[in-house]
Structure 1
Amino acid sequence: MQKLAGFWVRLAARIIDYLLVVGVVYAILSLFRLDTQSSAVQASELITMIIYYVAVPVLWFGYTMGKRLFGIRIIRDDGEKLNFKDMFIREFFAALIYGASLGLVAIISSFMVIMRKDKKAIHDIIVKTSVTYGKPEDE
């Protein structure tokens, strides 16, 4: 069994990912002097976030830039390759649930990663994923 990633390393990777995405979006907004109040610009920001958090791990063996920096990645519990459906559910519905609860469920989920032996957050349980250290065999 692979070594499971705990709360702090997962949080650090998420912060790096967030800063990277926000930095890219900000650079594009500044470069093209785009109106941040525009619905099209806001939709583009959302699409950029979805592409990064959903597509990048699917296409890059479970890594995002932040996860790669810390040597952790998302894997499916059944050993199969990550797919777009699972990653979309993992990211989108987690954000929806966490937002709808005004962050309360996110706090509970964080404590789950800290206290559970399997270090699973709510979104990991829903889609049957884990965050582990180590490289995939096919990388």
Structure 2
Amino acid sequence: MGEVRNNQRPNVHVYASVWQRILAVIVDLLVITAPLSVISFLVVGNWRGDWITILLEAIYWLVIPVITRGYTIGKWMAGIRIEMRKGNPPGYFCMFLRYAVVPFFYVISFGGLLLLSCGMMVLRTDRKSLHDVVAGTVVVKGSVPKYVPNQSKISA
């Protein structure tokens, strides 16, 4: 299997299923986005948000996955996480690409790129969608150990 450096996981990925990813997005929308929209409506009077709720949502999508090493609440509940291609936790720049830049193109393409992204997730063996390819991330099952030695010595 080769030598593993810096306590990184060997190049073995157990990719998250499409259904796990869909469940994670639904949970995130129900737990974070919907309540913030309601709070914004009650405070400001519109569903689009005020600067405080927009800031809180940006922190959730851009900062929390970095701090928690690839988890959002939805991903944690679905048992999956985001990581970089070599098993490293995601950084701020890739989260910015993943959750801000690429979704902007989903919107300006009137959902065309979003449909392409969903098709990629279904058809690719690594389950990468467009935002994963651009950001250099992959969504894996969270229970995978970070490092499994080739031979372990067990003493009785």
Both structures adopt the same fold (TM-score exceeding 0.5): yes
With normalisation by structure 2, the TM-score equals 0.77
Q: Which amino acid is 2:87 matched to?
A: G
Q: Quick check: 1:9 aligned with 2:49?
A: no
If you compute each CA radius of gyration, which structure gives the higher value, 1 or 2?
2
Q: Give the aligned CA root-mean-square deviation in angstroms.
A: 2.3
Report SS of the residue matched to 1:61. Answer: coil
- CA contact 2:40–2:53 (8 Å) conserved in 1: no
Structure 1: runs of 5 or more not aligned? none
Q: How many residues align?
A: 135
Runs of at least 4 residues off by over 6 Å:
none
Counterpart of 1:91 in structure 2 is 99
Q: Which amino acid is 2:43 matched to?
A: L
Structure 2: runs of 5 or more not aligned? 1-11, 148-156
More helix as a share of residues: 1
Report SS of the residue matched to 1:44. Answer: helix
With normalisation by structure 1, the TM-score equals 0.85
Q: Matched residues, percent identical?
A: 29
**Structure 1 residues 79, 11: closer, same or farther in 2, change over 3 A?**
same
Q: Distance in 2 between matches of 1:29 and 1:112?
A: 34
**Structure 1 residues 43, 122: closer, same or farther in 2, change over 3 A?**
same
Q: Distance in 2 between matches of 1:9 and 1:99?
A: 24
**Structure 1 residues 76, 26: closer, same or farther in 2, change over 3 A?**
same
